[in-house]
Amino acid sequence: MIVRHLHAANATSRRVVSKTWESTRLLLKNDAMGFSFHITTIYAGTETRMHYRNHLESVYCISGGGEIEDTATGERHAIQPGTMYALDKHDVHILRSNTEMKMACVFNPPLNGLEVHDTTGAYPLEAQSVES
């Protein structure tokens, strides 16, 4: 069994900070669960374009609000506590936050640990692992 606490993980390299978000990766590839699990904070008033061409991602909004735009169709969906979206087609998308958003995120295949977006908004398949 694996038991971890967000507050403890926040003090380790599991917490990755980027320009518009930060994310604490509670489960990673080396946990051998077949997915990774993260608690992500999207900073208030930000816009992030992403394209996870190497991963499938599902996101659940715990708190805060904003919207997600599917750039292929221009369709926009409000995000509020309780909203889930799944990027089942590796969808190119823009995430906008009105207020700080707390999100629970799952990635398949699992992240190694230290991934940040490249210039296309993707994560590489093989990135550096965190120290365990």
Identity of the residue, 57 or 69, whose beta carbon is nearer to ligand 9YT in the bound complex: 57
Distances (CA, A) of 7 to 1, 96, 121: 19, 26, 28
Closest approach of Cβ 3 to ligand 9YT, in Å?
20
Closest approach of Cβ 73 to ligand 9YT, in Å?
19
Angle at 60 between CA 58 and CA 63, to 5 degrees: 155
Closest approach of Cβ 51 to ligand 9YT, in Å?
11
Identity of the residue, 2 or 123, whose beta carbon is nearer to ligand 9YT in the bound complex: 123
Closest approach of Cβ 102 to ligand 9YT, in Å?
11
Using CB under 6 A, list all residues that contact ligand 9YT.
21, 23, 38, 40, 50, 57, 59, 95, 103, 105
Closest approach of Cβ 103 to ligand 9YT, in Å?
5
**Residue 16: partners with Cβ closer than 8 Å, 6 or more residues away:** 22, 23, 24, 25, 113, 114, 115, 116
Amino acid letter, 56: L
Residue nearest to ligand 9YT (CB): 23
**Is the separation of the CB atoms in 86 and 62 below 8 Å?**
no
**Residue 126: partners with Cβ closer than 8 Å, 6 or more residues away:** 112
Identity of the residue, 72 or 127, whose beta carbon is nearer to ligand 9YT in the bound complex: 127
Identity of the residue, 95 or 130, whose beta carbon is nearer to ligand 9YT in the bound complex: 95
**Is the separation of the CB atoms in 61 and 85 below 8 Å?**
no
